[in-house]
Structure 1
Amino acid sequence: MHALNAPASRDDNLLEPVVLAVEARLQALGQALQQRDSAAVEQCASDLHRALTEAVETFRHAARSGGITPALRQRLVRATGQVAAQRESLARATAALDRAMDVLLPRTPDVVYSPGLAAYGSGARSQHSASA
């Protein structure tokens, strides 16, 4: 039998809390995003990152030592899909915010050019240098 399709094992006892932690962190991040609480989003994203790192390590160990039940594997796949969806949603929101900021606060060029000042500057320099 393939290791990923193994029946329930002692590893399920280790994997279940890891999957629950990822799911809980995803839910918390979703709520923070809905509330538009940037501090909470940052904290929840950090917590989710740690939970995902632990999940990957735990699943890797379980796959080597006996397998992962299809139900747990499916839950982790679903969680991964949710992470991708939230990342895409955040990217769209960020792009919309960038566009709004560009409209509200147009970017100014590094060098400000004014035709009147340029003509005055070069003409004034030539007139003053001629008289010197």
Structure 2
Amino acid sequence: MQQPVIPAYETSPELEATLGAVETQLASLGEALRTRDSAAIDLHATELHRSLARAVDHFTRAARSGPVPTPLRERLALAGGLVAAQRESLARATAALDRAIDVLMPRERPAAVYSAIGPADRGSRGVIQA
């Protein structure tokens, strides 16, 4: 009986390494966010972006050769979910910060742009009243 041919991507540590890099950067970014270390957040966010780009490239090439092993697909999906969760967390934190800044430093509100009879800055000149 002949052994089945195992696709090269299943035995290649390349997919495992790229996925491991994504997972490592996700964990590092999560820790930086937890400790509110802005320099580390910037560094790990950049590295996560690079790791994700490499992983997408490697997984795309592997998928062209045949199905990607289920455990790796599941880990990649989990990583994608974690990225989405961190993005949502950052969006909420940013919105909260924006609200706090608006309370502490209210912006000047411009005069009304329109009145009942048109643009407020026109005054009475140029306005025809019936």
TM-score by length of 1: 0.74
Match of 1:11 in 2: 9
Aligned-pair CA distance for 1:10? 2.9
Tell me, in whole angstroms, the C-alpha distance in 1 between the residues paired with 2:35 and 2:74: 29
Tell me, in whole angstroms, the C-alpha distance in 2 between the residues paired with 1:15 and 1:70: 12
Aligned-pair CA distance for 1:109? 3.6
1:103 aligned partner, one-letter code: V
The percentage of aligned residue pairs carrying the same residue is: 54
Tell me, in whole angstroms, the C-alpha distance in 2 between the residues paired with 1:109 and 1:39: 34
Aligned-pair CA distance for 1:8? 6.5
Aligned-pair CA distance for 1:17? 0.4
Whether the 8 Å CA contact 2:7–2:65 is kept in 1: the answer is: no
* Structure 1: 5+ residue stretches without partners: 1-6, 112-132
Which stretches of structure 1, 4 residues or more, deviate above 6 A after TM superposition? none
2:94 matches 1:101: no
More helix by share: 1
* Structure 2: 5+ residue stretches without partners: 112-130
Whether the 8 Å CA contact 1:8–1:69 is kept in 2: the answer is: no
Match of 2:40 in 1: 40
1:98 aligned partner, one-letter code: D
TM-score by length of 2: 0.75
Report which structure shows greater RCO (CA 8 Å, sep ≥6): 1
Number of aligned residue pairs: 105
